[in-house]
Amino acid sequence: MRLLLPEQRQLDDLFDLYDSGTPCLRGGLVLSTDGAVAVDGGSRPLQGPADKAVFAALRAVCDAVVVGAGTARSEDYGPVRPAAPARAWREAHGRSPAPLVLVSRSLRLDPTARAFSGDVRPLVLTCAAATPPDGLREVAEIVVAGDDDVDLPAAVAALHERGLTRLLCEGGPGLLTDLVRAGLVDELCLTLAPLLVGAAPTLLTGPLAAPVRLELVHLVDGGDGSLLARYRLT
């Protein structure tokens, strides 16, 4: 991998490169060069070695991994289990293990799903109108923010109250769009995979009230045909 921009910097360590200030909510996703985030319903065909490395780095430096329930269901999300280098980096930086945070309006969640099988208790952000299925309270902390829909600013504030201030949202596009619309996203870390897909879903699911300008923080040549771009939303 090679840092293309800014030109004067060396790429020493991917974890340090992606470590963020706090509080920070960033989206971390991989997309095809024509903007698709899935092929045949999953993101795996888009992921090359560089994306896997940046995915690990983004997780290594965050306090919590936030994901929409749709993605957790369709990709059979498991708990956050960093590999040895990420665990070592976290320990050296005094970061406790990051929980998985699911966002769900309906609470249509299976308590026996892999997402609830880890050592770190996951959180579920939902609204008062949703009824938890049997067994969910036993495997997750349910945080209610909003009455009929999830109040995303209140949900993010609830995470901050728990000391979770460096938030990584891994998608999907439904949740990411709502977070961008609510003005809650500080950064986007995008892997541009060298692939054309020609099909939805794309990064965002619908129009924004006005275009959001992005400032390029860095650009990395992934070495496998991909580009890793980190943007700040202004």
**Residues 24, 29, 100, 164: which binds ligand NAP (CB under 6 A)?**
29
Structure tokens at 78: 């498991």
CB nearer ligand NAP, residue 56 or residue 92: 56
Among 2, 9, 93, 108, binds ligand NAP (CB under 6 A): 108
Question: Which run of H or of E encompasses 218?
Answer: strand 214-221
- CA distances (Å), 229 to each of 30, 147, 170, 215, in order? 10, 37, 15, 10
Task: Give φ, ψ of 149 to 5 degrees.
Answer: -145, 160
Whether residue 175 contacts residue 125, with contact meaning beta carbons closer than 8 Å, is answered with no
Q: Are 126 and 150 in contact (CB under 8 A)?
A: yes
Query: Based on CB atoms, which residue is closest to ligand NAP, 41 or 198?
Result: 41
Cβ nearer to ligand NAP, comparing 20 with 104: 104
Within residues 185-204, the interface with ligand NAP by CB under 6 A covers 201
Sequence-distant (6+) residues with CB within 8 A of 183 are none
Instruction: Tell me, by CB under 6 A, how many residues bind ligand NAP.
Output: 31
Question: Least separation, in Å, of the C-beta of 93 and ligand NAP?
Answer: 25
Smallest distance from ligand NAP to CB 103, Å:
5
Q: Of these, 17, 37, 58, 143, which contacts ligand NAP (CB under 6 A)?
A: 37
| Minimum distance of ligand NAP from residue 32's CB (angstroms) | 9
Contact region with ligand NAP (CB under 6 A), list: 8-16, 37-45, 210-218, 219-227: 37-45
Residues 49-78 that bind ligand NAP (CB under 6 A): 68-71, 74-75
**Distance between CA atoms of residues 55 and 206, nearest Å:** 25
CB count, 10 Å around CB of 9? Answer: 10
Residue with tokens 């706090």: 22
Supply angle C-alpha 107, 44, 102, rounded to 5.
20
Residue 178 makes contact with ligand NAP by CB under 6 A:
yes
45: buried, middle or exposed (CB in 10 Å: 19+, 13-18, 0-12)? middle
- Measured from the CB of residue 15, what is the shortest distance to ligand NAP in angstroms? 19
Closest distance of CB 157 from ligand NAP, Å:
15
Binding site for ligand NAP (CB under 6 A): 29-31, 37-38, 41-43, 46, 68-71, 74-75, 103-106, 108, 150, 152, 170-175, 178, 201, 205
